[in-house]
Amino acid sequence: MNLHNLVDPAILFFVIGVLAGLVRSNLEIPPAISRFLSMYLLMALGLKGGFALAASGLNAQVVAGLGIAVVLAVVVPLIGYTLLRRWVSGFDAAALAATYGSVSAVTFITATGHLDKIGLPYGGHMAAAMALMESPAIVLAVLMANRLRQQQTAPAGVVLGGGAAVLGGPPGGGVSTDWRKLLHESFTDGSQLLLIGAMVVGVMTGEAGREAMQPFSGDLFKGMLAFFLLDMGLMAARNLPGLRGRSPVLLAYGVLAPLLHASLAWALARTAGLPAGDTALLMTLAASASYIAVPAVVRYAIPEANPSLYFGLSLGLTFPLNLLLGIPLYTHLATTLP
């Protein structure tokens, strides 16, 4: 692994943000600017993915990559929930499973920038894979939470099953789930719509569109990413104090679970014969943890869970580790392991 590849300007700006936050500097990025940067990065990523997909077309490799993404989106939260139930409450386990089963768009965007920097090609459809992996973990976590509520409120000897175990709230009280609202937030989130819409534009316009949008989606991308990661560094630093006093088991999970998930993604990608660039991105997606989409939905759908736990672990621990060490490691393994 070439040390020069680790010294990336965008990553270094993330480090500056973390340091500024730790020393309590007055450096800050206005929320409106941060929101604009996020929208820009998603639009640019969608366009780049669409242009690449227009050039490659839909083939067996694309279908395999998307299929693996769906499998990971289901298997990872189920593994996480099963393991975490040993150490935390069922509701916290469900929220953490959703967090680590979903994905971080910023981590993925940073990984694509890293692959561009080292010249490792990857499929444009991987942006669609990211979109597919965001929602299944959230839906599964809510199903788990509803099941827990019903088990807690059901009379002894009553076996829950059928539609009541999945839809609606528990009998005799508890928190009911507005499934229309949940599904609307999960599948029509503005970030996903922007990403997919930009990808459709890229597919429709092809090479002519790529040339026309190159100043926007190509030349500006790295600088905008560096600016956004500066803001992410400040945010990560603000969440580090939330990790104090946490169980060593949970801290170990925040470090080791991404490695386990990345290993699973590597095994599936290698079995399917995917190229190294796609494998590295699938490993990154599997290893990432959501700190935007999941908290927005889980706070409403699983209010029994502790937000500081799933938000603090994902943004304060897993996100920095993936950016600073994980992405180069996953890329190295994808390109060197047989």
On the question of pLDDT at 139 being above 80, the answer is yes
pLDDT at 179: 58
pLDDT at 9: 85
- DSSP H or E run through 324: none
Residue 8, number of CB atoms within 10 A of its CB:
22
pLDDT at 23: 93
For tokens 């993604």, what's the residue?
Answer: 265
pLDDT at 167: 34
Residue 219 identity (one-letter amino acid):
D
The alpha helices in the chain, defined as continuous H runs, are 3-6, 9-22, 31-56, 60-84, 90-101, 105-118, 126-134, 136-153, 179-187, 190-213, 221-239, 248-272, 276-287, 293-301, 307-313, 319-321, 327-336
On the question of pLDDT at 238 being above 50, the answer is yes
Distance CA 196, CA 62 (A): 16
On the question of pLDDT at 171 being above 70, the answer is no
Distance CA 329, CA 235 (A): 24
Taking only the tens place, the pLDDT of each residue in 288-336 is: 998 877 877 787 788 898 887 888 889 889 999 999 999 999 999 999 9
Taking only the tens place, the pLDDT of each residue in 43-87 is: 888 898 888 888 877 788 999 999 999 999 999 999 999 999 999
Q: Among 91-100, 161-170, 294-303, which range has the highest average pLDDT?
A: 91-100
On the question of pLDDT at 28 being above 60, the answer is yes
On the question of pLDDT at 272 being above 60, the answer is yes
Mean pLDDT, rounded, for 86-112? 92
Instruction: Please name which of 255, 280, 285 lies closest in space to residue 266, comparing C-alpha atoms.
Output: 280
Cα first-last separation, the chain: 16
Taking only the tens place, the pLDDT of each residue in 3-14 is: 444 567 888 898
Are residues 66 and 281 in contact, defined by beta-carbon separation less than 8 angstroms? Answer: no
Residue 181, number of CB atoms within 10 A of its CB:
12
CA pseudo-torsion sign 92, 190, 29, 255? positive
On the question of pLDDT at 243 being above 90, the answer is no
On the question of pLDDT at 287 being above 80, the answer is yes
Are residues 72 and 264 in contact, defined by beta-carbon separation less than 8 angstroms? Answer: yes
Distance CA 230, CA 109 (A): 14
Residue 264 identity (one-letter amino acid):
L
pLDDT at 315: 87
Assign 159 a pLDDT band (cuts: 50, 70, 90).
very low
On the question of pLDDT at 265 being above 90, the answer is yes
Write the DSSP string, 219-263.
ITHHHHHHHHHHHHHHHHHHHGGGGTT--HHHHHHHHHHHHHHHH
pLDDT at 74: 95
Residue 253 identity (one-letter amino acid):
Y
Instruction: Please name which of 134, 81, 79, 76 lies closest in space to residue 106, comparing C-alpha atoms.
Output: 134
Mean pLDDT, rounded, for 260-283? 96
Hey, what are 127's tokens?
């942006």
Does domain 31-152+163-336 fall under CATH 1.10.10? My reply is: no
Burial (CB count within 10 angstroms: exposed 0-12, middle 13-18, buried 19+), residue 67:
middle
Residue 322 identity (one-letter amino acid):
N
Q: What are the domain boundaries of the chain?
A: 31-152+163-336
pLDDT at 255: 94
Residue 160 identity (one-letter amino acid):
L
Distance CA 128, CA 182 (A): 21
On the question of pLDDT at 247 being above 70, the answer is yes
The pair phi, psi for residue 135, each rounded to 5°, is: -90, -35
On the question of pLDDT at 271 being above 90, the answer is yes
pLDDT at 184: 63
Higher pLDDT, 105 or 185: 105
On the question of pLDDT at 172 being above 80, the answer is no
Taking only the tens place, the pLDDT of each residue in 174-208 is: 445 555 665 665 566 677 688 788 889 998 999 99
Mean pLDDT, rounded, for 274-301? 89
Mean pLDDT of the chain: 84
On the question of pLDDT at 168 being above 80, the answer is no
